Chains A and B, each alone.
Chain A
Amino acid sequence: MVLLRTLLHMLMVRPLMWFLLGGKVEGRENLPSSGPAILAANHNSHLDIFFLQSLLPVGALPLTHPVAAADYFCRTKLTTWLSRNLIGIIALSRTRASFHEDPLAGVKETLRAGKIVIIFPEGSRGEPEMLSMIKPGIAHLAKDFPDVPVIPVFIKGLGKSLPRGELALVPHLCRAFVGEALKYGYGEGQNVRKFTEDLKGWFFARADQQNSAGLTNR
């Protein structure tokens, strides 16, 4: 199944992403080639998962698992099977069944297995090309894995290419900026709020830089 997933990715997803979205990356050297690692990206489009996967080195691909909403990707048995096996998603329930149940259990298990997890800390796609609040969930996760690098990735243009609620994909040059890894265990006086603020600061600084650089996505 991993082989099928890799083949599908290399033969279809990667060439299509390159053809339709270009895919310029700044800071490619910061991308992980092995796990465990957490990739934290802003979220604007369904394409985000594929775009991020196509940035990673081929060897890291079978290790990569995007965290995605169970209520969206696992509506039917077929979509559940497809997204689990062909995209490799970890389904995250947005509604908690009971208070004692840990919604991040699947994610933690994956990290313990030494894999790379893609997380969208904003939670949902939101308005196209707008950053929404970074939720503290990622910081809680990082707290449990203080030595696992959290690599922030700012991606731009995908909300214009395939925004929420649209069916048609508009080819458009997208780009990614990969930041240096943040590690929960390395910050002084680290706490969940501080970590969330640090991450948020990085994303907003990137967004501001883009807006003032002229090559904006207005």
Chain B
Amino acid sequence: MPTDGYLRLIEQLYVTGVVSLDQALSCMIVLKHEIRYLFLGLFAAALGGVLFGLLKKDTEIRKRSGTWLLIIAFFFVGLGISSKLTTWFFAYLSFLALREYIGIIDTRKSDHATLFWLFPAIIAQYYWVAIDWYGMFIIFIPVYLFLFVPLRLVLAGETTGFLRSASVIQWGAMTTIFPVSHVAFLARLPTHGYAHGLGYVMALLVMTASNDVFQFISGKTFKGPKIIPKISPGKTWSGFLGGVFCSALLGALLLPWLTDYPRVWGAVVGALLSVCGFFGDVVESAIKRDIGIKDSGDILPGHGGILDRIDSLIYTAPVFFHLTRYLYH
């Protein structure tokens, strides 16, 4: 952290009696808010890239860039204003994803009431985040909602296709609510050292999004043997390894700056997130192929649906969250 030097300087000033304790503490608090300026810097960089895309003649690239601009603005409002708002911002993201998921799955008429209960579950899950109740947050969906779903389906009294419906609904909760709420909880992790929870969120989101781009670009550049041609014909081994390499490089640069991870760990985490992002991507692809659709929706012009955008996050968010929590908290 570039903040380290300044903090040591303030400490020295206090010890040598140049500033009072009050002054030293308020300076330190201001420095902790430096993270917000880092945000501004990253957003400015992202914005620059997008504006560059908007100037291109290709309408497809312009449409995509325009949507990126909206997504960035959306995240800027969601993350930049207050940590309470951040929590509910991710709740809204879960809502959008779940709404889309329900639209693409095959459901029975008797599943209706059970599907309804997933929406109050979003509110409950993010409420646990908002009150920092980790124990409840981590078991609510995999245990309580897991037990509730078949129970409600039984009450609806239809046995044909029961297991299928139960699984499809569980999958919806586990992929649209659970991983996204991990990002929200990451923002609320208690400050450790001088790093702020938002720094971790920013690191995760930037790493996940740029890994998608790295894998896409290196897949286009380096052809070669395909990894799983049946599911994702565009994914090659060289593209995958290129993505892992670029992400490790970015991790080594970005993580020591935004978080408490030292440089070596930054590279390891970057590579790990890259592998996880790849898994998320291909798992979502397999699901879309199973359903028989290409994109999960068309809410984001040029990108497809919300689920198409957050697919990598399904794997990267929980892994990054638990690694960080294990190592630092």
Q: Are A128 and B297 in contact (CB under 8 A)?
A: no
Does A96 touch B at the CB level, under 8 Å?
no
Chain B proximity of A189: nearest CB distance (Å): 40
What is the CA–CA distance of A24 and B95 in the complex, to the nearest angstrom?
17
**A160-B107, A173-B297, A214-B292 in contact; A168/B112 too (CB < 8 A)?**
yes
Q: Are B99 and A22 in contact (CB under 8 A)?
A: yes
* Smallest CB gap from A127: residue in B: B109
Does B116 touch A at the CB level, under 8 Å?
yes
**A170-B115, A171-B119, A214-B293 in contact; A163/B109 too (CB < 8 A)?**
yes
Does A157 touch B at the CB level, under 8 Å?
yes
What is the CA–CA distance of A22 and B294 in the complex, to the nearest angstrom?
20
What is the CA–CA distance of A207 and B201 in the complex, to the nearest angstrom?
43
What is the CA–CA distance of A143 and B107 in the complex, to the nearest angstrom?
41
Q: Are B299 and A214 in contact (CB under 8 A)?
A: no
Q: Are B95 and A171 in contact (CB under 8 A)?
A: yes
**A24-B298, A214-B292 in contact; A170/B112 too (CB < 8 A)?**
yes
What is the CA–CA distance of A157 and B103 in the complex, to the nearest angstrom?
8
What is the CA–CA distance of A160 and B108 in the complex, to the nearest angstrom?
10
User: Contact mask A153-174 → B, CB, 8 Å, 1/0?
Assistant: 0000100100100101111110
Interface centre among A22, A128, A157, A169 (most CB of B within 10 A): A22
What is the CA–CA distance of A218 and B164 in the complex, to the nearest angstrom?
14
Chain A proximity of B290: nearest CB distance (Å): 12
Q: Are B100 and A166 in contact (CB under 8 A)?
A: no
B100: chain A residues within 8 A (beta carbon): 173
B298: chain A residues within 8 A (beta carbon): 24
Does B18 touch A at the CB level, under 8 Å?
no
Does A215 touch B at the CB level, under 8 Å?
yes
Chain B proximity of A24: nearest CB distance (Å): 7
A166: chain B residues within 8 A (beta carbon): 112-113
Does B104 touch A at the CB level, under 8 Å?
yes
Q: Are B109 and A128 in contact (CB under 8 A)?
A: yes
Interface centre among B98, B99, B100, B292 (most CB of A within 10 A): B99
Q: Which of A184-218 contact B (CB under 8 A)?
A: 214-215, 217-218
What is the CA–CA distance of A214 and B103 in the complex, to the nearest angstrom?
12
B40: chain A residues within 8 A (beta carbon): none
Query: Which residue of the partner chain, among B95, B103, B116, contacts A169 with CB atoms under 8 Å?
Result: B116
Q: Are B99 and A168 in contact (CB under 8 A)?
A: no
A168: chain B residues within 8 A (beta carbon): 112-113, 116
Does B102 touch A at the CB level, under 8 Å?
yes
Query: Which residue of the partner chain, among A24, A128, A173, A214, contacts B99 with CB atoms under 8 Å?
Result: A173
What is the CA–CA distance of A119 and B112 in the complex, to the nearest angstrom?
27
Q: Which of B38-76 contact A (CB under 8 A)?
A: none
Interface centre among B103, B107, B119 (most CB of A within 10 A): B103
Does B158 touch A at the CB level, under 8 Å?
no
**A24-B298, A214-B294 in contact; A172/B103 too (CB < 8 A)?**
yes
What is the CA–CA distance of A172 and B95 in the complex, to the nearest angstrom?
10
Q: Are B99 and A171 in contact (CB under 8 A)?
A: yes
What is the CA–CA distance of A22 and B100 in the complex, to the nearest angstrom?
10
User: Contact mask B110-129 → A, CB, 8 Å, 1/0?
Assistant: 00110110010000000000
A215: chain B residues within 8 A (beta carbon): 103-104, 293
User: Contact mask B186-229 → A, CB, 8 Å, 1/0?
Assistant: 00000000000000000000000000000000000000000000
Does B132 touch A at the CB level, under 8 Å?
no
Chain B proximity of A41: nearest CB distance (Å): 19
B119: chain A residues within 8 A (beta carbon): 170-171
What is the CA–CA distance of A69 and B224 in the complex, to the nearest angstrom?
64
Chain B proximity of A26: nearest CB distance (Å): 11
Chain A proximity of B306: nearest CB distance (Å): 10
User: Contact mask B65-107 → A, CB, 8 Å, 1/0?
Assistant: 0000000000000000000000000000001001110111011
Q: Are A171 and B102 in contact (CB under 8 A)?
A: yes
16 A-B residue pairs with CB within 8 Å: A157-B103, A160-B102, A163-B112, A168-B112, A168-B113, A170-B112, A170-B116, A170-B119, A171-B98, A173-B99, A173-B100, A173-B103, A173-B297, A173-B299, A215-B104, A217-B103
State the B residues within 8 Å of A (CB): 95, 98-100, 102-104, 106-107, 109, 112-113, 115-116, 119, 292-294, 297-299
By Cβ-Cβ distance, the 9 closest A-B pairs, closest first, are: A168-B116, A173-B103, A214-B293, A218-B106, A171-B99, A170-B115, A166-B112, A170-B116, A172-B102
Known: A22-B99, A170-B116, A215-B104. 19 other contacts (CB 8 A): A20-B99, A22-B299, A160-B103, A160-B107, A163-B109, A166-B112, A168-B112, A170-B112, A171-B98, A171-B119, A172-B99, A172-B102, A172-B103, A173-B99, A173-B100, A173-B299, A214-B294, A215-B103, A215-B293
